Chain A
């Protein structure tokens, strides 16, 4: 029952010309541990509802939590990768509130003692500049179950006939990463927000702590936005837009809130401190609940758990075993591949780094790999409106295709037909070449026949060539290529034509 009331918006460029936006982002990432945060229940996506549960997941009377050591290790990995300090000792607390998807009616979360704090991460923007985002803290907590409201028109609880709760997700380990207020981004605040979330997503994957699939809700962002007249002014009142779950939406939500808050302030109003809902379809936010002091979670230290005291030697071991992080890796690969800055940026923005890396590993030169992925394949992906990685072709197949070209078995023109065959699901390049009969004709016999036919068909051109004018040779070669459906090696055809007329 979302009522559409018209909201005043200030044109974005106008808004950022007159106000200084400050943003803050909370990112939740579900850790890819085998079992839950405090519980031996397995956790994997897409199982039948309420099958991945134990007495602990359900908060049954008598059940007790026990901390998942792997989740703690993953949280430390994230903290270290974000240049945070790791707490010498930290505790869990109980956040008390009644809601059916929270089985114990409290969430076990770190409150005043996060496992990691005071860090930073450099975020690369589309033009290649970097922006440093300061991290306040990264803390561990458990996820809630999932509600499905049935019978209402919008899937929201309001107007629903009944609600179903799936506790498979209850107790899944989360790490929440909270930035300090991000200032100084100015008009680029929305882009910084998007790039920041994307940077974290890449980081989670590189660290191996989560599949970090946005569409599955593995990574969820809450974006805080406030405006102030100038960078020197005190911070304005912020709103928190919850559950913005794609990179594009993060950017749009920040942009929308800047325009909306500017209009509120222009009208002499005050921004209400509140949580807001993001609507993907309309690209807008609406008021959720007003945040006030009345919301009292009665936090207190979780008495069922003892403090976590990570052994400093263990932390150093984890630090030493951190994989190469995405930014460093990009710099290394750019050097190895010899790409220009602009080329590398395009590759990164297209999400093609891993694809090219794998293609090079499959035997293609970096230049050839880039040519395929950023050329023919990028065009195809754009036409089909999918990501490059979603195309039904693997880096190994591109590598094989390029090897066919390099060995002279096919030429560039044939290669494009082979590619088309692979994308159409006809198999590996080799299979497509055989099935479609696309191999370059290397036997001179059929070529000479075609050349003789072409010369005979165009006697005037044949005469000119015999007279020493090599200009029109191309016309003969073209005719031969056409006759052989492109399967001839043009260089060899040229040699044979000259031998024929001059010999």
Chain B
């Protein structure tokens, strides 16, 4: 194989599935692939700023090791040697981990998250840690403590959030695979606005051990990729039971790749696809709705039965979410106090007591959105308010779970637009938290119920920006996402004569 390194190497534009095959056939080396991505990162990062930390040396060392082992005839994981980027909310031994917050600046974890252990054991070179809204609170990555990430489709626009870094890295061909986390849409909404694929697995499918918790009962890690098949490959790698996470399911993470392969034939006869009445209409951009209708038509042509379902309590999902999330977050974020790790700020005047150091550290280390949610959550859990707020929100959550159960009686999967609009401009909603929160109106119900969801690109809106299509399945039926997703992807790409992402403007390496 020719030394295909350089900013526009085809190696960076290949799906992980193809890299995997070529690496396995020893047509290409992992060092080549890894170096190509590092070169691409060097070229486009000044414009995109998807990474908070690039671990070039470690990635190349892993790549060289994989090449040597493969050369010696060792049987390796299919993804061995395929580089990956990891959202900075996932702890990585020896690599700085900040969760996008200044309060963790310089912290180097002494241990690996379970999913990182699996990535390392399988021999995927870790390219670096990706940018995100601070502690995953946000839908634009503008709340990062380390500056914005730019949407590769339009550098003046947001890449979505909280996992804007992972999605932008994928969209800008800086990495073929990335890890995201999704608490209310942080994998799916960035995927939608960057024209990439993102999957939030069933709650408990991927271990949370080593994910810096935002809201424990909602958080779930998952794949960010450029194709449905790549997402299936990555999901099978990172999923499965982990005794260190008490909420981890015992199911093995298998069958996703097979389901995606099955879907490619685009035969969806017998599949009932439910359109959620409450997740469309008012507040959705006309271009978003138009693409959605076209995708439904494509599914119908593939033999699927389209039915309309109603989930009346989804109307209250956003309100319940913004009580449960801040409540859990206020407690999860209490440990950031300057006592054991990360930033420590001593008050500039007055006595240096533990309490005052904690207050000074948290006052300086946390950004405004984090403080806003800690205050909300502390209030929601306070004596005398608990029943009215946290208690009521949990009841709504139960009602939403029942809505899903009823809807899945009528349909095998549910579908909706992933986000109501395409990517908005940087700064546009920064001063309006409620407008920002509304971005996640379609993705939040899945987190509240623990069901899996996928977003895949289904066209461009009138503004020329990508739109996402969301598929939801019953808990532990993640395979259905891959089957339906792969089918729709094949149909759409046939029409587009290639991946949607090919239509994104080429990044030229200039300064944004």
Chain B associates with chain A: yes
Please list the residues of chain A having a beta carbon within 8 angstroms of any beta carbon in chain B: 55, 58-67, 94, 96, 98-100, 103-106, 163, 165, 293, 296, 298-300, 303-306
A59 & B340 in contact (Cβ 8 Å cutoff): yes
Query: By the criterion CB–CB under 8 Å, are B382 and A296 in contact?
Result: yes
Are B331 and A66 neighbours in the complex by a CB distance under 8 Å?
no
Measured in the bound complex, the distance between the Cα atoms of B217 and A94 in whole Å is 14
Q: Which of A63, A103, A163 lies in contact with B209, CB distance below 8 A?
A: A63
Across-interface contacts of A165 in B (CB, < 8 A): 339
Decide: A304 near B247, CB < 8 A? Known: A60-B341, A296-B382.
yes
**In this assembly, does B246 line the interface, its C-beta being within 8 Å of a C-beta of chain A?**
yes
| In the A-B complex, the 4 residue pairs with the closest CB atoms | A105-B334, A303-B216, A298-B381, A303-B217
B104 interface residue (CB < 8 Å to A): yes
The answer for the CA separation of A17 and B323 in the assembled complex, in Å, is 55
A104-B341 Cα distance, complex, nearest whole Å: 12
* Residue among A64, A99, A299, A305 facing the most chain B CB atoms (10 A cut-off): A64
Contacts of A62 in B (CB 8 A): 90-91, 109, 111, 113, 209-213
Whole-angstrom distance between the alpha carbons of A494 and B315 in the complex? 109
If A55-B110, A98-B334, A103-B335 touch, whether A304 touches B327 (CB-CB below 8 Å) is: no
The residue that B334 contacts in the complex, of A67, A96, A299, A305, with Cβ under 8 A, is A96
CB–CB A60/B334 < 8 A: no
- Least CB distance from B411 to A in Å reads 29
C-alpha spacing A299/B386, complex, angstroms: 9
Q: A36 CB to closest chain B CB, in angstroms? A: 13
What are 25 A-B pairs at a CB distance below 8 A?
A58-B340, A59-B335, A60-B110, A61-B99, A61-B107, A61-B212, A62-B109, A62-B210, A64-B244, A66-B245, A66-B246, A98-B355, A103-B340, A104-B335, A106-B334, A293-B383, A296-B382, A298-B331, A298-B378, A300-B386, A303-B217, A303-B247, A304-B208, A305-B247, A306-B247
- The CA of A96 and the CA of B382, in the complex, are separated in Å by 11
Q: Are B208 and A64 in contact (CB under 8 A)?
A: yes
Partner of A64, one of B245, B328, B340, B382: B245
The answer to whether A94 and B246 touch (CB under 8 A), given A61-B97, A298-B382, is no
B residues near A103, Cβ cutoff 8 Å:
335, 340
CB distance from A429 to the nearest CB of B (A): 54
Is there a chain A Cβ closer than 8 Å to B243's Cβ? yes
- Chain A residue, CB-CB nearest to B101: A61
A60-B109, A104-B335, A106-B331 known; A67 vs B354 contact (CB < 8 Å): no
Query: From residue B327, how far is it (CB to closest CB) to chain A in Å?
Result: 6
Contacts of A59 in B (CB 8 A): 335, 340
Chain A proximity of B161: nearest CB distance (Å): 19
List, in ascending order, chain B residues with CB within 8 A of A296's CB: 382-383
Bound CA span A304–B211, Å: 12
Query: Could you say which residues of chain B place their CB within 8 Å of the CB of A98?
Result: 334, 337, 355, 358
Is there a chain A Cβ closer than 8 Å to B390's Cβ? yes
Q: A59-B340, A61-B97, A62-B91 are in contact. Are A306 and B246 (CB under 8 A)?
A: yes
Contacting pair A100 B339 (CB below 8 A): yes
Residues of B within 8 A of A60 (CB): 91, 109-111, 340-341
Contact B109 A66 (CB under 8 A): no
Residues of A within 8 A of B382 (CB): 296, 298
Q: A293 to B334, alpha carbons, bound, how many Å?
A: 21
Given A55-B110, A55-B111, A64-B244, A300 contacting B334 (CB threshold 8 A):
no
Chain B CB within 10 Å, residue with most, of A60, A65, A306? A60
Instruction: Report the bound CA distance from A296 to B209 in whole Å.
Output: 29
Q: Please measure, in the bound complex, the distance between the C-alpha atom of A328 and the C-alpha atom of B226, giving whole angstroms.
A: 71
Which B residues fall within an 8 A CB radius of A? Answer: 90-91, 97, 99, 104, 107, 109-111, 113, 208-213, 215-217, 243-247, 327-328, 330-331, 334-337, 339-341, 354-355, 358, 378, 381-383, 386, 390
A96 to B247, CA, bound (A): 21
Complex: how many Å from CA A299 to CA B90?
27
- If the complex has contacts A60-B110, A298-B331, A300-B386, are A105 and B337 also in contact, measured as CB distance less than 8 A? yes
Q: CB-CB < 8 A to A61: which residues of B?
A: 91, 97, 99, 104, 107, 109, 212, 335-336, 341
Task: Tell me, in angstroms, the Cα distance from A100 to B383 when the chains sit together.
Answer: 24
What is the distance, in angstroms, from A311's C-beta to the closest C-beta of chain B?
17
Bound CA–CA A103/B246 (angstroms): 20
Chain A residue numbers with a CB within 8 Å of B383 are 293, 296, 298
Whether the pair A105, B246 counts as a contact (CB closer than 8 A) is no
Selected from B246, B381, B390, the residue in CB contact (under 8 A) with A65 is B246
In Å, the complex CA distance between A299 and B330 comes to 12
Residues of A within 8 A of B109 (CB): 55, 60-62
Most buried by A among B99, B109, B331, B337: B331
In the bound complex, residues from chain B placing their C-beta under 8 Å from that of A293 are 383
Min CB distance B94 to A, Å, is 14
Q: Which residue of B lies closest to A293 (CB)?
A: B383
Closest approach, in angstroms, between the C-beta of B305 and any C-beta of chain A? 36
Q: Which residues of A sit under 8 angstroms from B339, Cβ to Cβ?
A: 100, 165
The answer to whether B354 and A100 touch across the interface, beta carbons within 8 angstroms, is yes
A333 to B99, CA, bound (A): 64
B32 to chain A, nearest CB (A): 33
Instruction: Determine the chain B residues whose CB is within 8 A of the CB of A304 once the complex forms.
Output: 208, 213, 216, 246-247
For residue B215, which residue of chain A has the nearest CB?
Answer: A303
Q: List A contacts of B90 (CB < 8 A).
A: 62
Chain B residues in 8 Å Cβ range of A94 = 331
**Highest count of chain B CB atoms <10 Å: which of A62, A65, A67:** A62
Q: Which of B107, B247, B335, B390 contacts A300 (CB under 8 A)?
A: B390
**Among A61, A105, A106, A303, residue most surrounded by chain B Cβ atoms (within 10 Å):** A61
Name the CB-closest residue of A to B247: A306
Task: Identify the closest chain A residue to B341 (Cβ).
Answer: A60
Q: Which residues of B contact A299 (CB under 8 A)?
A: 381
Known: A55-B110, A106-B331. A66 touches B216 (CB 8 A): no
**Which A residue's beta carbon lies closest to that of B110?**
A55
Nearest CB of B to A308, in Å: 10
Task: Please tell me if the beta carbons of B331 and A96 are within 8 angstroms of each other in the complex.
Answer: yes
Distance (Å) between the CB of B391 and the closest chain A CB? Answer: 9
- Expressed in whole angstroms, the Cα–Cα distance for A162 and B110 within the complex equals 26
Closest chain-B Cβ to A152's Cβ sits at a distance in Å of 13
Q: Which of A96, A303, A305 contacts B381 (CB 8 A)?
A: A96
Within the complex, which residue of B91, B97, B243, B381 is in contact with A66, where a contact is CB–CB below 8 Å?
A: B243
| Min CB–CB distance B359 → chain A (angstroms) | 9
| B286 → A minimal CB distance (Å) | 39
Determine the distance from Cα of A430 to Cα of B210 in the docked complex, in whole angstroms: 63
- By beta carbon, the residue of chain B nearest A165 is B339
- Complex formed: what's the CA distance from A106 to B335 in Å? 8
Contacts of B244 in A (CB 8 A): 64, 66
18 more CB-based (< 8 A) A-B contacts, given A98-B355, A293-B383 = A55-B111, A60-B109, A60-B340, A61-B91, A61-B104, A61-B109, A62-B111, A62-B213, A64-B209, A94-B331, A98-B334, A100-B339, A103-B335, A104-B335, A296-B382, A298-B378, A300-B381, A304-B208
**Alpha-carbon distance A296/B215, docked complex (angstroms):** 21
* Complex interface: chain B residues within 8 A of A305 (CB): 246-247
Find the A residue at minimum CB distance from B377.
A298
State how many angstroms separate the Cβ of A388 from the closest Cβ of chain B: 45
Residues of A contacting B216 in the complex (Cβ-Cβ under 8 angstroms): 303-304
Contacts of B246 in A (CB 8 A): 64-67, 304-306
B135 to chain A, nearest CB (A): 10
With CB as the reference atom, state the residue of chain A lying closest to B355.
Answer: A98
B381 CB to closest chain A CB, in angstroms?
4
